[in-house]
Structure 1
C-alpha cells in the first residue's frame, strides 16, 4: 500500500476547499432564488399597482419622503373624520427609506421594487449564512443537518412572507435580527473550521452595531431585542475598546431618532406615535371578543372603532389617549387580560395556523401548516436546548455557550413580550425562525467531547 505523501495531503485539502466553496455558493444562491420566486408567486398580480397605494402608511410616508416632507402623513383614516391628524412618527423610518430608494432607482414599478427590497434585505442574511458556513462541523451527519437548517427557513411560507413583504415592519426587521444573532453565535474568535479568513474584531463590532441599529430603526417593538443582543455581545466580547465602540454606535440610532422626532413633531421619542393604539388595540373588550380573528382578517378595521367620535389636536395626544385607555383596561379587567394573554401565547408559541394576514385555502393552506410545523420543531428544539444548557452543570470552558443559550432565551422573550402585551399574530413570531435555526446550527458546530 502506497504511503501518503505531503503532496497527496495538499491535493486532498485543495479538493475539500473547492467543495466547501461550491457549498458556500449554493448556500448563498438558493435563498435568493427561492425568495425571488416567491415574489413572483405572491405579487405578479400586483404588477400594475402603485407603490404609493400600499397601506399601513407605507405608501403615503414614502411619497412624503420623496417630496422632501420627511416620513409625514396627514390622514383621517384612523377614525378621526373631520379631524385629520398629521403623523410624523407613525412608523420607524427603515420601511419608507428602503421603498423610497427602490422607487428612486427603479421608478414606481411594483415588482422591480419588491425584488430590490428582497435582495437588499437578504444581504444581512447572506452574511449570516457565510458566518455559519465558516463554522460548519466536520462530521458528515452534523454537517448535512446544519446545511439543512440554514436552508429550510426558505421553504417556510411564514418566513418567505417576511422576506418579500413591503407592508409590515417584520419584512425589514427579520434580516437585521438574523445577522445580529449570527454574529453572536458564529462571529466570535476561535469558531472557524472552514476557510482561511476570520472576521476581524473591529469589523465584527461595526457589523454588529449596524445590525442592531437597523433592527431598531425597522420596528419600535424590537427595542428590548436590541438590548438583549447588545448585552450578549458585551458579555462575550473580551476587548473593552470594542465594547465601547458598539455601545456608542448602537446608542446613536435611538438618539438620532429622538432628535429627529423632536424636530419634526415637538417631542423626544424612542418609539412611534402608534405605540399607544397598538397597545390599546390588544387591550379592550371589543378586540378581545374577536381575538384570535377569523382567517384572513387582521382586525385593522378596529383601529377606526377605537377612535370613533374622539378628537385629537396632534399625534402625541392621540398616542397618549390610547396609552391611558390601554392601561386603564389592564388595571380594571385583569381576568379578561389574562384570558387574552393565554390566547396570544398560543398563537406566538404553539399554533400551526396563520393569523393576521390573507387567508389561504386548499393545498396552499396545507403547505403553510407544514411550514409552521417545521418552524415550531426548530423553535422548540432550540428553546429546550438552551434551557437544558442553562440548567445542566457544565465545565467552565462552556461559559460562552451558556451565555449564548441565555441570550437566545432572552431574545425569544424580548421579541415576543411587546406582542403578548399588545396583540399577537403569526408575523410577530415568524422573525424568530432564522435565529432559532442559527442557534440549532451553533449547537451542531460545538466540538464533541468525551
Structure 2
C-alpha cells in the first residue's frame, strides 16, 4: 500500500467503494486523512466500515468542509451528466480527483524523480503495460505494475528512487488526475470509444492528451490522425516526443523470437516498450530477451499450449469483429472458434480474413447468424458449446497439412449467453485445451459447409 500522507489532516469525501475506491480509502486513512466514504451499494459501505473506514451518506455532509472529493473512476464526472457528488463538490469549489492523482501527489512528496511510466490508448494499453513491466523485471529492475490493469495503483509499493512504477491509465482516471506528470508518458492510439462518458471524440482525445502533455518524455503512436495531431501539439509546447508507427518502423525491431507478440497491433505495443525501456537504461539485448520470454496477457492473444504442430490461442477478449480481426490477421491456417452473444454488425467485417480460416466452430446464440455469414465461403460446424468446439477443432487441426495449424478462440461476440464474462470464457477454453488427450485420434469430418 502507498499511504497518502499528502492529505494528512485534510478532510476528504470519497465516493465509490469498489476495487480502486476501497484501495484509495485505505491509503488515505493510512496517510492520516480525515475521510468520509460512501457508495450507493450498501454491501460496499458495510465492507468499508468493517475495515474501520468512516462511512456516512454524503448527501447529508457539510461539503464546505471538504478539501477534496476522491471519485471512483467508474462514476460519471461529466457525461452523460455529472454524478450528484460531483455537482455538490462543484457547488462548494471542492476539487474532484481520483486514485492516479493521489499517487502523483504522493510521488511528488516522497520521490519526485522516481521512474514513472504511464500508458494509455484505446487499444493495446494492457499488453504494453505488462510487456514493459516484464522486460524490466527480467532485467533485474525493481518494478511495480498496476492501475487500470488490475492492481489499484495505491495498492502498489510506494515510489522510491530506484523503483519503477509502470501504470496503465484509463481515460476515466486521466480525467480525475490534473497533476498527472509521468517521467515517460505513452499514448498508443485513438479510435472512438467511451463516447457516452466523454460526449464526443474531440473530448475523448483531449482527455487522453493530458497523459502526455506534462510528461518528461512522450512516446506517441502516430498511425491515426488524433494521435499524430497530439504529438505535434505537445512537441510545440516543449515535450520531447518519440513517434512510433507500424507502417514506417517495421524494421526497428525483430519479433521473430517473440511468439506472444504476433500481429501488427503487437508491433505497436513492442515499439512503445522498446523506446520506454531504452529510456530507462536497458540495453537492446536485455529488451530482446524480455520480449522473447513474454507470455502475453491472459485472454488477449494468449498462447496457452502447443500439441505437436498445433498452436492453441486464447483471444477471448476479442468480443467484437474489430478485435477479432487482429488475431485472425496474425495466423495463416486457423481453426476458428467463434460465437456467443452477437453484437451489431456480426462477423461481416471479417470477410477479408475468411481465406485464412480452415474451418469455423460456432458456439452460443450467434451461431446461426455467423453460419449465414460464412455461407459457402468457409467450412463450418455449429458446435454449440465451447468444450465441443475445442475437441473438434483440435482433432481437425492435428489432421491438417498446415505447417502450424492454429486453434483460435476469437469469439467476435460477447460472452454473456454462456459465461459470466470474457475471462470465464477464456478460462473454460484453457481448461478444455488442458483436458485434451496428447494423442487424440483425428475425428471423422462432419458439420455444415
TM-score (norm 2): 0.26
Structure number having the greater strand percentage: 2
Bigger proportion of residues as helix: 1
